[in-house]
Amino acid sequence: MELFQEAWAQAYCRKLNESEAYRKAAATWEGSLALAVRPDPALGFPKGVAVVLDLWHGACRGVQVVEGEAEADFVIEADLATWQEVLEGRLEPLTALMRGLLELKKGSIAALAPYAQAAKELVKVAREVA
């Protein structure tokens, strides 16, 4: 299954809904989250691509894969190599954010801070799918 493609996105949403740990950690989360890949024509993403998750109170209500700019409450962007490192467990997301490898394009760190455990569970589930 290829990262950031429709089958991967659907499997990710399904796995989130199966995760009791995510459901508990994100019980008060309301809003959409986009995991975006920067444009890279050489890798098949000439306009960039994003997986936009509709997350609500510990559930994934839906997901879509979009080309170009993603519309979501929170948008996190990186190049494909960085996403691969994160999803393979070789790079922690918080470290990547601090180093500027992952960029919060929309939303604020302050708004995300209370959901640190939910973010960890999002990554853990994504690693299971990847």
CATH of the domain at 37: 3.30.1050.10
Q: Is the pTM of this model over 0.85?
A: yes
Mean pLDDT confidence for 112-116 = 84
Q: 1 pLDDT exceeds 80?
A: no
**Model confidence band, residue 92 (pLDDT cutoffs 50, 70, 90):** confident
Please give the pLDDT value at position 53. 97
Domain of residue 89: give its range. 6-129
Q: Long-range contacts: 1-8, Cβ < 8 Å, 24+?
A: 1/129, 1/130, 3/80, 3/83, 3/84, 3/87, 3/130, 4/35, 4/37, 4/45, 4/49, 4/50, 4/51, 4/65, 4/80, 4/83, 5/65, 6/65, 8/51, 8/129, 8/130
In a domain, 27, yes or no: yes
In a domain, 90, yes or no: yes
The more confident residue out of 45 and 99 is 99
- Residue 113's nearest CA partner among 97, 127, 129 is 97
The pLDDT tens digits of the residues spanning 40-73 come to: 888 777 899 999 999 999 999 999 999 988 999 9
